[in-house]
Amino acid sequence: MKTRYLKTSAASLGIILGLAATGTAWAQDSVDLRMTIWSANEAHLAMFNEIADGFKQTHPNVTVSFDSIPFDSYTTTLTTQIAGGNPPDLAWILETSAADFVNSGALAPLNETFSAIEGYDLWDLSIPASELWTRDGQLYAYPFSTSPFAMFANNDLIAAAGAKTPAELIEAGEWNWDNAFATAKAVADAGEADGLVVRDFNFQTWQNLASIWRGWGADPWSADGKSCTLADQPMIDAMTAIHNAIFVDGGMPGPGETVDFFAGDAAMTITQISRASLLPKEDPFDWDLVPLPAGPAGEYYVIGQAGVGVFERSANKDVAVEFLAYMTNPENSQKLAQFFPPARESLLNAETLSTTNPLLSAEQIQTVVVDGISRGVVLPGHTNFAQIQQTIRSGLDALWVPEADVAAVLGNVCSSVSPLLAR
Amino acid sequence: MSQSSQAPHKPPFWTMTRRDAAAGYVFIAPQLVGIITFVLVPLGLVFWYSLHEWNVLASSFNFVGAANYQMLLNDPNLPAVLLASAIFSAGLVVFNMALALLLAVLLDQKLKGMVVFRTLFFSPVVVSLVAWTIVWSFLLQANGGINGLLSIIGIEGPNWLRTPTTAMISVVVVQVFKNVGLNMVLFLAALQGVPKELYEAARVDGAGRFKQFRRITLPMISPTILLTSIITIVGSLQVFAQIAVLTQGGPGMTTTVLVYYLYQQAFQFHFFGYGSTLSILLFLIVAALTFAQWQLRKRIVFYEN
């Protein structure tokens, strides 16, 4: 009896030691994954945590935490973490810095893991939506959000000012920038609220003005990114229209003023539909979501994109790629679609999107989301974007004064940024 | 010494001098470890980084020799950055010292309730710098508190942080109000150390208030003036949070001072090598200014003994 007991103990000890020696995960090591995001929105975080809990069902040893970093300093904070030897395992990446991240080799390739997973269906990804995140046919970040810019309107404020709402203008076939600026001016003149806010622009994030200047067919640089087109006629015309709206009409808030549409302080705002989560739940106003007005160059769509990548230097790279695959599989993509429009073609239809976006009507989903994603131009991005962004921002400061000479300022901006673009 | 040479046996290792020296080293050891870890080693590393091209994203770190220093000499932005730093430092030092001295002289009166005023003027020094600056950023907005007050008396205030001249003035004033209390207290202590009989003698000789101030007070407190001016100039070259919160270096590059430019290059544009080169430049400027002021002390500072 005693010997048998000893023998079994020895045998089990042997097995345990053997397992430990070979490193087999008989009781798997716990893995903590950290993912940096720029949203601190509770609804967004709840959804991410739900997805992370789902992953834990099949990977009980993996815990994913989401690290919210403020949008303004997001990329700076992220690169500082990397420089300090403490990179996250996964990170959201902005479209503007996509080129820097994808080309640097900082991100792990995804194709092999993704295409090996049954039911993942990598080829469902829209090719135009993945272009920014692909190098030599290899996907380096998943375009988890392809979000069109659109116009939110506060119909209560517009009606009180006696102006035409965007919906009325659309019906009359007159939804263009002249009339949009006129509505903004009417509300501002009424004195209760501001007219039109380009959200997150703040006279610094000038690339967000693409949501207006694309209506003039304007671009900051040529398609190959080598030459500056800020001083070309379409851009001069578009910037003149914006300058007038701010300093002549008073329909857009000036530099240094903080105005929040979602707090009911402005008649209209241009932003991405993921911001719908900010609409007030208590004491709501009569809001609408419409496509951007037509410009002199006709109808146009602008999209912002965000990708999620895994860092090549992450200690848990393989698990992180697996989590990313789980997070973006068809089922979870549908969940994400509630806030972040998917790049999966199978989900890009009004039917699927309306079940996940209860706030939006079928018409809004078709005209704003589906049309936007299939026809939209992505916000401008460039290799070495931070330096180019800063150089243009500092040059454009001269534009944001009442007496500015638009063409002269844009000419100066081009001469200071051209050497950086040509590099 | 004469004692030990007279003694026939071998002198003990722990002489009085050695014992004192050892005790001294033990006392300064914590400070020394701190300086080596947090000042000298980083300084050496920064110099090492400045000889490299360091791409954080690609995790590449290549020796490039003096290339970053070559870039420094050819940097088209550098003159504007150095000018902004010089204007900021000059404005800050003059305004800060003048205001601190004025407040100290005013508060050096024997009146009831003076302690309350002294506390009041000193209190911003202990407030968190970023909190202080954020509150000011609200006050200085185009539709902010200061312009609101001005509109009551019928003045339309400028867009303080968005106009080149007022942006620099705003940044200087916010910084002066934050730290003037510290210099004020130092001046106050110095003023109270001036022997009263000197003033009596001067009065007997027929010197007026202004002459007394110029001939007695200023020379007597000149060591403190030197000390505060060194602290203020060195501090002014390190200004960062105020710029980051209030203007982000704008409008244009008018408030892009050296430290902010360094931050942009290293942490926003990811040029860590060039950022390190800029910090070597900053180090040399601070060292040169401090050395120059130390030399000047022989000519303008009055020491009683």
The Cα–Cα gap between A292 and A238 comes to 14
C-alpha span between B212 and A19 (Å, rounded): 89
Note whether residue B134 is domain-resident: yes
Does A56 fall in a domain?
yes
Asked if the C-beta of A400 comes within 8 angstroms of chain B's C-beta atoms, the answer is yes
Residues A52 and A111 both lie in one domain: yes
CB-CB contact of A379 with A95 (8 Å): yes
State yes or no: pLDDT of A5 exceeds 60: no
Whether residue B199 lies inside any domain: the answer is yes
- Does A26 have pLDDT greater than 60? no
Q: How far is A53 from chain B (nearest CA, A)?
A: 30
Same-domain check for residues B286 and B154: yes
Q: Is A79 on the interface with B (CB under 8 A)?
A: yes
In A95-220, the DSSP E strands lie at: 134-135, 138-139, 141-154, 194-198
A386 and A318 in one domain? no
Q: What per-residue confidence (pLDDT) applies to B8?
A: 65
Residue at A25 is within a domain:
no
What is the enclosing helix (H) or strand (E) of A63?
strand A62-68
Contact at CB, A257 and B141, closer than 8 angstroms: yes
Q: CATH number of the domain that A54 lies in?
A: 3.40.190.10
Least Cα distance to B140 among B241, B246, B244, B248 occurs for B246
Q: Is residue A370 part of a domain?
A: yes
Residue B17 counted as domain residue: yes
Asked whether residue A17 is assigned to any structural domain, the reply reads no
Answer yes or no: is B58 within a domain: no
Asked if B269 has any chain A CB less than 8 Å from its own CB, the reply is: yes
Q: What is the pLDDT of residues A102-112, one digit of tens each?
A: 988 899 999 99
A387 and A281 inside one domain: yes
Q: What is the DSSP letter of B68?
A: H
One domain, residues A325 and A354:
yes
| A262 and A197 housed in the same domain | yes
Residue B256 resides in a domain: yes
What is the structure's pLDDT at A340?
86
* Residues B237, B133 share a domain: yes
pLDDT tens for chain B, residues 1 to 305: 445 455 567 778 888 889 999 999 999 999 999 999 999 999 999 999 999 998 888 778 899 989 999 999 999 999 999 999 999 999 999 999 999 999 999 988 888 888 888 888 899 999 999 999 999 999 998 888 899 899 999 888 888 998 888 999 999 999 999 999 999 999 999 999 999 898 889 888 888 888 888 888 988 998 899 889 888 998 899 899 999 999 999 898 999 999 999 999 998 888 899 999 999 999 999 999 888 888 887 777 776 55
Nearest CA among A394, A396, A384, A395 for reference residue A423 = A384
Is A11 inside any structural domain?
no
Residue A382 contacts by C-beta under 8 Å, 6 or more apart in sequence?
A: A96, A99, A221, A225, A388, A421
Confidence category of residue A130, pLDDT binned at 50, 70, 90: confident
Which of B57, B142, B251 is closest, CB to CB, to A254?
B142
Q: Which domain holds residue A251?
A: 148-302+381-422
Residue with tokens 């001098």: B17
Task: Residue A215: name the closest of A272, A151, A167 by CA.
Answer: A151
Do A292 and A353 share a domain, yes or no? Answer: no
Quick one: B22 and B141 in the same domain? Answer: no
With an 8 Å Cβ cutoff, are B159 and A256 in contact? yes
In a domain, A402, yes or no: yes
Structure tokens at A16: 């345990």
Which of helix, strand or coil describes residue A26? coil
Q: Do B97 and B136 lie in a common domain? A: yes
- Closest Cβ–Cβ partner in B141, B160, B268 for A390: B268
Of A345, A363, A378, the position where a domain reaches its end is: A378
Cβ neighbour number for residue B289 with a 10 Å cutoff: 16
The number of folded domains in chain B is 2
The reply to whether A272 and A252 lie within a common domain is: yes
Pick from A82, A257, A397: CB nearest B250: A397
pLDDT-derived band at A413 (thresholds 50, 70, 90) equals: very high
Candidates A333, A305, A328; CA nearest to A110 is A328
B152 and B238 fall within a common domain? yes
> Are residues A232 and A152 located together in one domain of the fold?
yes
Residues B12 and B149 in one domain: no
The answer to whether A82 and A368 are in contact (CB under 8 A) is no
| Confidence (pLDDT) at A1 | 43
The domain tally of chain A equals 2
Q: Which of B45, B52, B56, B141 to probe the A interface (max A CBs under 10 A)?
A: B56
Residue located via tokens 């009409």:
A249
pLDDT cut 70: percent of chain A above it: 93
In this prediction, residues A306-318 reach a mean pLDDT of 93
Query: Which chain B residue's Cα is nearest to A254?
Result: B142
Tell me, yes or no, whether A285 and A308 share the same domain. Answer: no
In a domain, B60, yes or no: no
CATH at residue B130: 1.10.3720.10
A320 touches A109 (CB < 8 A): no
A169 and A312 assigned to the same domain: no
Q: Within 10 Å of residue B203's Cβ, how many Cβ atoms?
A: 12
Nearest CB among B56, B161, B250 relative to A79 is that of B56
Task: Kindly state whether residues B96 and B212 are assigned to the same domain.
Answer: yes
* Residues of chain B positioned with their CB less than 8 A from the CB of A412: none
Query: Same domain, yes or no, for B93 and B189?
Result: yes
Residue A7 pLDDT: 53
Q: How long a stretch of residues is chain A?
A: 423
Q: How far apart are CA B86 and CA B72, in angstroms?
A: 18
State residue B245 phi and psi, 5-degree precision.
-80, -45
Q: Where are the alpha helices (DSSP H) in A248-329?
A: 317-327
For A319-341, the pLDDT digits (tens) are 999 999 999 999 999 888 888 88
Q: Are residues B154 and B226 in the same domain?
A: yes
Structural domain includes residue A35:
yes
Q: Does residue B54 sit within a domain?
A: no
> Chain-wide mean pLDDT for chain A?
88
Distance from CA of A397 to the nearest CA of B (A): 5
Range of the structural domain that residue B267 is part of = 68-300
Identify the three-state secondary structure at position A299.
coil
**Contact at CB, A258 and B264, closer than 8 angstroms:** no
Q: Are residues A298 and A319 in the same domain?
A: no
Handedness of CA A259, A260, A266, A270 (dihedral sign): positive
pLDDT band at residue A24 under the 50/70/90 scheme: very low
Q: Are B291 and B285 in contact (CB under 8 A)?
A: no
For B56, nearest residue in chain A (alpha carbons): A83
Instruction: Give the residue, A11 or A243, on which the prediction is more confident.
Output: A243
Is residue B276 domain-shared with residue B175, that is, in the same domain? yes
| φ and ψ at residue A347, rounded to 5 degrees | -100, -10
Residue A168 maps to a domain: yes
A279 & A393 share domain: yes
The average pLDDT across A364-375 equals 85
